[in-house]
Amino acid sequence: MEFKLLEKKKDSIKVEIIEADETLLYPLIHELLQDKNVADARFATGHPQLDKSILIVEVKEGKPQAALKKAAKALANQFSEARELVEKQLGK
């Protein structure tokens, strides 16, 4: 999966997601919406074979890139904790 910045404004960004995986996108959007500084987070898809998914993040305060990085880091931590728990309980 790759991210390509399409549009950057003071309070919003649009990011094209190449080879988007909804398994990651939904938790990412959920995490973004938990941020009190995020006004809206959504992704748009067009034709499944012709268009790439576009993630749109709008913020009330701060930078939208910072909100996206914060959400991605929080998700990475959650997955890391889950992996450690599985390894601990089931063995490596």
The number of distinct structural domains making up the chain is 1
How far is it, in rounded angstroms, from Cα 9 to Cα 24? 24
- Mean pLDDT on 35-41: 96
pLDDT tens for 6-35 read: 999 999 999 998 877 778 889 999 999 999
The identity of residue 52, as a single letter, is K
Residue 33 sits in which domain range? 2-90
**pLDDT (0 to 100) of residue 74:** 92
Task: Check if the beta carbon of residue 32 is closer than 8 Å to that of residue 62.
Answer: no
Write the CATH number for 27.
3.30.1360.10
**pLDDT (0 to 100) of residue 23:** 80
Question: Is the sign of the CA dihedral 58, 59, 60, 62 positive or negative?
Answer: negative
Q: Is 22 helix (H, G, I), strand (E, B) or coil?
A: helix
- Mean pLDDT on 62-69: 95
Residue labelled with tokens 């790759």: 2
**pLDDT (0 to 100) of residue 92:** 62
How far is it, in rounded angstroms, from Cα 42 to Cα 46? 13
